[in-house]
Amino acid sequence: MTRRGLFGVSAGAAAALAGAATPAAASAAAPARPARTGLWLRWWGNNSWEIRVPRGEGTATVLIDPWLTRFHTGTYSDEGADPRTPIRVDTDLIDRHVDSGELRADHILVTHGHYDHITDVPYLARRTGATVIGTETHLNLMLALGAPEDQLAVATGGEYLRFDGYTIRVLRSLHSATGPRARVAFAGTRPGRPPRRPRTIEDLVEGGTLAYEVASTATGASVVDFGGSNYVESEVARLRPDVVLLPPGGDSVHDYVPRLLAAAGHPPHVLPTHWDDIDRPLTEPAHDWGGLAALRAAVAQASPASRFTVVDHLETFVL
Ligand SMILES: [Zn+2]
């Protein structure tokens, strides 16, 4: 796809094309500050984002938490996820997307070690040649799943890295905490040597959580992604992103939405992420697991000048 083809559509037009512009978004007040241009985002469901930025006559591609396979876990059912669900990777599906040129990657950024975030990354890394960034635990889990070791780059949060066409800022972050005790699901770390090969979803522990800012070096346009419903406020406070990718939830986090959007300077655009029931196929419209309305309301109240745009499965948002 050419750069012109990618960036020839405005954000509003893209949202309308996606059929996802909402009355709330359409009637929102003008952004608090004008958004920069030069970002092309596609949502692959869950917290899987494809980010393209201009590079020369083409584009560079950064993937966050890419997960195409989607196996049934019951995560959003009343019973919750079955910890002994076997993990699997649909290599034929990934091959089709990579071989067709539909999907490529210069970098793959991992927010945490859970099954719906890292399971496909080792195979995707091998197929795309992308550099993979994650914590020591994330990298150990992926090594145990067969990731190519020379493509892995460890991060702890605080890194501010420059590549051809984009910068990556790695933020210390936090995972969602749920239930009356505000606990992290499948918590734990795997430091040192890689563990035995993970077989079930409980083998894929959180391993610390990172957030990421990706910015175009050509235009300065930036997007920040949070793979869980929590964050470290002081890490966000320096940033002025054009787009925030924000998960619903955060019920046990004090002032989850207002504190984040204030720290990020009331960004022009907020897009929900991680809001679809992952037991449903990616080839169908996203099915809200139940957090979307509350997130929309919280954003409208905390940051009325921010535009809240819902992007559906495999649809795009262009700045
Ligand atoms: Zn998680």
Predicted local distance difference test score (pLDDT) of residue 299: 98
Distance 286 CA to ligand 1 centre (A): 19
Please state whether 199 falls in left (phi above 0), alpha (psi between -120 and 50) or beta. Answer: alpha
User: CA-to-CA distance for 197 and 294, rounded, in angstroms?
Assistant: 39
Distance 262 CA to ligand 1 centre (A): 24
Distance 166 CA to ligand 1 centre (A): 26
Predicted local distance difference test score (pLDDT) of residue 173: 98
In a domain, 196, yes or no: yes
In a domain, 108, yes or no: yes
Distance 107 CA to ligand 1 centre (A): 20
Distance 142 CA to ligand 1 centre (A): 16
pLDDT by residue, tens only, the chain of 319 residues: 444 455 544 444 444 334 444 444 444 454 567 889 999 999 999 999 999 999 999 999 999 999 999 999 989 988 889 999 999 999 999 999 999 999 999 999 999 999 999 999 999 999 999 999 999 999 999 999 999 999 999 999 999 999 999 999 999 999 999 999 999 999 999 999 999 999 999 999 999 999 999 999 999 999 999 999 999 999 999 899 999 999 999 999 999 999 999 999 999 999 999 999 999 999 999 999 999 999 999 999 999 999 999 999 999 999 9
DSSP E strands, the chain: 40-43, 49-55, 58-64, 107-109, 131-134, 152-154, 160-163, 166-173, 209-216, 222-225, 243-246, 269-272, 307-308, 316-318
In a domain, 30, yes or no: no
In a domain, 198, yes or no: yes
Predicted local distance difference test score (pLDDT) of residue 5: 52
Distance 178 CA to ligand 1 centre (A): 11
Distance 255 CA to ligand 1 centre (A): 20
User: CA-to-CA distance for 273 and 283, rounded, in angstroms?
Assistant: 17
Q: Which residues are near ligand 1, the ion (C-beta closer than 5 Å)?
A: 114
Listed in sequence order, the residues at least 6 apart from 120 whose beta carbon sits closer than 8 Å to its beta carbon are 66, 67, 68, 69, 89, 94
Distance 263 CA to ligand 1 centre (A): 23
| Number of domains into which the chain is organized | 1
Predicted local distance difference test score (pLDDT) of residue 7: 59
What is 14-32 written as a DSSP string? HHHHTT---HHHHTPPPPS
**Percent helix / strand / coil, the chain, rounded to 5:** 25, 20, 55
Predicted local distance difference test score (pLDDT) of residue 1: 47
User: CA-to-CA distance for 14 and 48, rounded, in angstroms?
Assistant: 19
Distance 295 CA to ligand 1 centre (A): 18
Distance 10 CA to ligand 1 centre (A): 32
Which domain does 205 fall in, by range?
3-25+39-318
In a domain, 186, yes or no: yes
Distance 122 CA to ligand 1 centre (A): 18
What are the backbone dihedrals phi and psi of residue 11, each rounded to the nearest 5 degrees, phi first? -60, -45
Predicted local distance difference test score (pLDDT) of residue 16: 39
| Residue located via tokens 């950024």 | 109
In a domain, 230, yes or no: yes
User: CA-to-CA distance for 267 and 223, rounded, in angstroms?
Assistant: 10
In a domain, 31, yes or no: no
Distance 306 CA to ligand 1 centre (A): 26
Distance 207 CA to ligand 1 centre (A): 10
Predicted local distance difference test score (pLDDT) of residue 34: 84
Listed in sequence order, the residues at least 6 apart from 158 whose beta carbon sits closer than 8 Å to its beta carbon are 170, 171, 172
User: Contact, 47 vs 319, CB < 8 A?
Assistant: no
Token pair listed for 163: 């590549």
Distance 204 CA to ligand 1 centre (A): 10
For the domain that residue 300 is a member of, what is the CATH number? Answer: 3.60.15.10
Distance 21 CA to ligand 1 centre (A): 28
In a domain, 44, yes or no: yes
Distance 112 CA to ligand 1 centre (A): 7
Predicted local distance difference test score (pLDDT) of residue 35: 85
Nearest CA among 187, 194, 153 for reference residue 170: 153
